[in-house]
Amino acid sequence: MMKNIEDLQKLGKDNVDIATKQFGAMSKGFQAIATEFADYSKKSFEDGTAAFEKLAGAKSLDKALEIQTDFAKSAYEGLVAKATKIGELYTDMAQEAFKPLEGYLAKVTPAK
């Protein structure tokens, strides 16, 4: 009877350890993602402001269209690059959060 209680306590401790490691990985991952979003927002605002200033100083319609086209192109490329980076961060976060479970599942899963 005592052995069962000790096993149950060890299982509980293992579960808490795994949950703590997963929480740490998720927390670190979300922090990195939030930083990327903040950096992108700041850069996007700065780029938009600079483009507006250039647009306000345009001397002709052709120059204004060129400025607007260049801004739209660079904004799109920046968005795609940042979305790719954030997607990679989500993937990394999921992998890091699953790592503590790999060893645990190997122990508790019955062999075939």
Per-residue pLDDT reduced to its tens digit, 5-18: 887 788 788 888 88
pTM of the model: 0.75
Q: Is residue 35 classed as helix, strand or coil in its secondary structure?
A: helix
How much is the average pLDDT of 35-64? 95
Distance (Å) of CA 81 to CA 4, 34, 35, 40 = 54, 16, 15, 10
Any idea what the Cα angle at residue 32 is, between residues 29 and 36, rounded to 5°?
A: 140
- Dig out the tokens for 45 from the structure: 């605002």
Q: Which two tokens stand for residue 92?
A: 């990394």
Assign 77 a pLDDT band (cuts: 50, 70, 90).
Answer: very high
And the tokens for 107?
A: 């122990």
- Per-residue model confidence (pLDDT) at position 111: 60
